[in-house]
Structure 1
Amino acid sequence: MPEDVATDNDFTVSDVWDYPVHDEWEVALDLLQELGDGWTAPTGFWEELGRAAGMLGLERSREWCWWRGAETRVGVIRADLALRPAGETFRRTPIPGAGVLRPMWDIGNRREDGERDLDIARVWVEFAGDLAPGARAPVRLLPLTSARWRHLTPGDRITLYETAVAGGTATILEVQPPSA
């Protein structure tokens, strides 16, 4: 918040700078990440924060910043994902939460012959390190080909596939176009 209009509840550039002075780099990084959530931060903002997080050895924060930078280029897709229980699919272990998993999704696209055409998107589990079979959580999706996902709107249901058997379903919560 600009200093001349900030209230006692707002944080300003001076507040952020105060943390590194006291060797509290992680707190400063967290504040800057929150700042980026409140406005449409440019890709360079997230890349620099990611670089700083990496230098501090904060790997999940680094990955999160790089993820957010990618979202400025391709858009934001948030969904509520419910995984099927372990006995119903091949998955017996939690899916990692930091954007490692790149499953296929049935998002309604069809081939010329009418068969479903699956699309790939990475999964970031919000507010958790992973998502166990049978569990449910809000996630962010980063599509391989974002243009194929632009028809989605809040309320749409999509299906996750890691094998021929559906591994879960998700309800779209939010779709934002690219900002870069």
Structure 2
Amino acid sequence: MDFQDSPLLKAARLCPADIQTETGVDVADVLKYLEHDDWETALLLLEEIGDAHPQPPQFWELLADTARLLWLAKDAYWYGWRSSEARNGAVLAELCLMSAEEGGWPRPAPPDAVLRPMWDIGHLTPEGEPLLSIAILWVEGRAPLKPGECGPVRLLPLTFEHWRHVKPGDAITMHVMRPSTGTARVTEVILPVAASS
């Protein structure tokens, strides 16, 4: 495929030309690698730009398309996740799972988006009971988060509007079953890109 038709060039064109990462990476750098058919490096640089400056869902979808063309299935899945974050908003947190002895969930949380736990984020039913909200859980890194351990996670709320009051420093409680199975401290809230521009 000619680089002029590549999804990476389309993604690069979505980025303002004047943006730059802390390490000095900009769109011109991406274009240089594309001109030399180094798609993998261009892909990594675009991801770095997307990490530094919020990008629309279409940007991440184009990166996912490229990853599929390069047979990078895990990367394609990750960029699909990032597209969902850009579209719907997300919450980053440090999650501590309760140990099995404490009554926590007996299995590790895998490092991908397969769990859809419920979260106590402070809403109450008319009867005063916690009103739980669902968010898909993505464990950062390559290793599962084991019961009794803490680690960084990304949460993709199914209804971001329910989570708009959550802010860094808030403690939220994860429920896979009753009682709770872990507690998370919010570190960052990522607004949908359309809402932040």
TM bucket normalised to smaller: 0.7 to 0.9
Instruction: Work out whether residues 82 and 169 of structure 1, in 8 Å CA contact, stay in contact via their aligned partners in 2.
Output: yes
SS at match of 1:160: strand
Q: TM-score, normalised by structure 2?
A: 0.79
Instruction: Work out whether residues 60 and 98 of structure 1, in 8 Å CA contact, stay in contact via their aligned partners in 2.
Output: no
Alignment of 1:54-69 (within 5 A): 54-69=68-83
CA RMSD in angstroms comes to 2.5
Question: Would the alpha carbon gap of residues 66 and 72 (structure 1) be closer, same or farther in structure 2, given more than 3 Å must change?
Answer: same
Equivalences, count: 178
SS at match of 1:77: strand
Unaligned runs of 5+ in 2: 1-14
Aligned counterpart for 1:26 among listed residues 40, 43, 60: 40
Q: Deviations over 1:27-83 (max 9, x none)?
A: 332221111011121111000101111222222211221111111122231111001
Aligned counterpart for 2:50 among listed residues 33, 36, 43: 36
For 1:166, the equivalent position in structure 2 comes to: 180
State the identity as a percent.
46
For 1:178, the equivalent position in structure 2 comes to: 192
SS at match of 1:110: coil
SS at match of 1:130: coil
Instruction: Work out whether residues 19 and 26 of structure 2, in 8 Å CA contact, stay in contact via their aligned partners in 1.
Output: no
SS at match of 1:95: coil
Partners of 2:112 and 2:83 in 1: CA distance: 14
Q: TM-score, normalised by structure 1?
A: 0.86
Instruction: Work out whether residues 74 and 146 of structure 1, in 8 Å CA contact, stay in contact via their aligned partners in 2.
Output: yes
4+ residue runs of structure 1 moved beyond 4 angstroms? 1-6, 17-24
Higher helix share: 2
